[in-house]
Structure 1
Amino acid sequence: RRIGLVVGRDVRPTRERVRAVEDAYDASGIARDLLVHRGTLSPEHGEEALEEMLSDAVPPGAVILGGNQLLEGALRVVHRRGLQLGKDLSLVCCDDVPLGRFHQPPIATVMRDSALLGKRAAELLLAQPGTPGANEPVCLPTWFEPRASCGPPATDASDTNRKRTAR
């Protein structure tokens, strides 16, 4: 029920990701129990943020990394603590990268079509001023690719929390 969200600085994509998780809590009827850690989109921030979250008195059972740049650092913590993704901790990353696909277990990922993103951005940049739709918001498809790094919540959260904080 407790989710950790590791994101970048306070810019629009960060605010949108925080809002999306809050909206998901609200839609589920589950009381919000969200830990948010903001910083740079770097492996170092991913490592520091996950280490801090897992050291909390009540660590999250699932963590969402708001950028693929955070994954390397987060995985350092997972391996250092001897955690099994999908069992001890569920982990989700944003944007598909080889490290996420080839890690064992593979990392669940929030996906988007990067080629389509680039194409639409170029079209907007090349559009003539005053072109219909040039100033309209653009929504591109995003989807979730479930992989083995996500598992069901632990049945006895107290045992799982003790295991995480003891390492």
Structure 2
Amino acid sequence: MSEDEEGPRPTPTIREVASAAGVSLGSVSRVLNGHATVTPDIRAKVEKAVAQLGFKPNAVAQSMRSGASRTVGCIIRDINIPGLAGFVRSAHDVLLQEGYALLLTNSEGDPKRERELISVMMARRADALLLGHWSEQDQGLENTLREVRFPVVLMDREEPRWADSVMVDHKSSIRHATQMLAQLGHKRIALITGRDTLYPARSRIEGYREGLLSANLPFDPRLIHTGTFEAEFGYESISQLLDDSDRPTAVIAGGIEMMPGVLRSIRTRGLSIPHDISLVGTLNSPLAEFHQPPISVEDWDYAKLGRIAAKFALDRIRGEDIPNPRRFILPSEIVMRGSCAPPPR
């Protein structure tokens, strides 16, 4: 009789895992619950036995015994933002390998909603939280985060005092973009980006100013527009710049969501990229890649950022000896394409 005819094999028990590994039930339990006190030798024996037997721990029972849900929360502004799907997918994969589920929610950029979602994560007994919050100046949100009983990892936010963070080096890439535009002959280069209360915008502004300085170009505050990352803000900002009698010949748009608005404004004014105006955008999206001409972008590996964030969270969950908050800064780069050329004469 075949195995199929005999029926499915019985589910292996934790006692069988302990017997196969040659360790105590307590040692198996500590390995399965991620205790940092387990020696590497015992951990390896248990993991080998688990793999050989096909043992799958009961997550509900584990949660009841340990007080842990084996769930990591993730609050982001909008899952539809290009690139964030890569962050979420890679974080999920890392967590899943360690037996954790990812609970994903959207805050829609609303601080009040963020605080409500954090309360939901606490009620669901999340073991850690990955958070891309709206404003680093929101004292109410900071106070809420300081009171939570689980570790927090911030996404692209600068907070060295009390939480781990994974960030993108926007400053270097925007400095490089500004320098490259200056080398093409541009004298008036504009920057449109998000709120300057946020790390990404502050970092881009610093890089922009450094790029102007290195190219011996004057800084004109009228050429910087900060606000939301939305398409409508992109439209309004570049419209004001293009309608000026001394308009810029190049624009850096620091926010992928604003790009449709930027392109709409340029098109409705009958201007051509790059003959009338050069353009640098953010993130290598299909819009940037397949636009004619293809748009130069500031780009980075969102998937790597997700993997590091998940690993930071797991380290904290396991209680590893990490006394100070960590900061991982991911390099970014400028991908030059046909949207940049010398200024019109």
TM-score (norm 2): 0.43
| Residue identity in the other structure for 1:25 | L
Match among 207, 212, 215 for residue 28 of structure 1: 215
Matching residue of 1:123: 311
Q: Which residue of 2 aligns with 1:8?
A: 194
Structure possessing the higher radius of gyration over alpha carbons: 2
Shift, 1:83, TM fit: 1.2
Say if 1:45 and 1:70, in contact at 8 Å, map to a contact too. Answer: yes
Identify unmatched segments of 5+ residues in structure 1: 157-167
| Aligned mate of 1:47, from 235, 238, 242 | 235
> Which residue does 1:92 correspond to in 2?
280
Q: Which residue number corresponds to residue 292 of structure 2?
A: 104
Superposition RMSD in Å: 1.7
Summarize the Cα distance change of 1:57–1:137 in structure 2 as closer, same or farther, 3 Å threshold: same
Number of aligned positions between the proteins: 155
1:78 to 261, 266, 291: 266
The SS at the match of 2:275 is coil
Q: Deviations over 1:90-132 (max 9, x none)?
A: 0000111111111101110011011111111222222225644
**Structure with more contact order per residue of length (Cα contacts < 8 Å, sep ≥ 6):** 1
- Taking the aligned partners of 1:77 and 1:134, their CA distance within structure 2 comes to 47
Query: Match for 1:140: what amino acid?
Result: L
- Give the SS at the match of 2:251: strand
CA distance in 2, matches of 1:130, 1:38: 40
Residue 20 (structure 2) aligns with: none
* Residue aligned with 1:139, SS: strand
Identity %: 37
Cα distance in structure 2, aligned partners of 1:13 and 1:42:
15
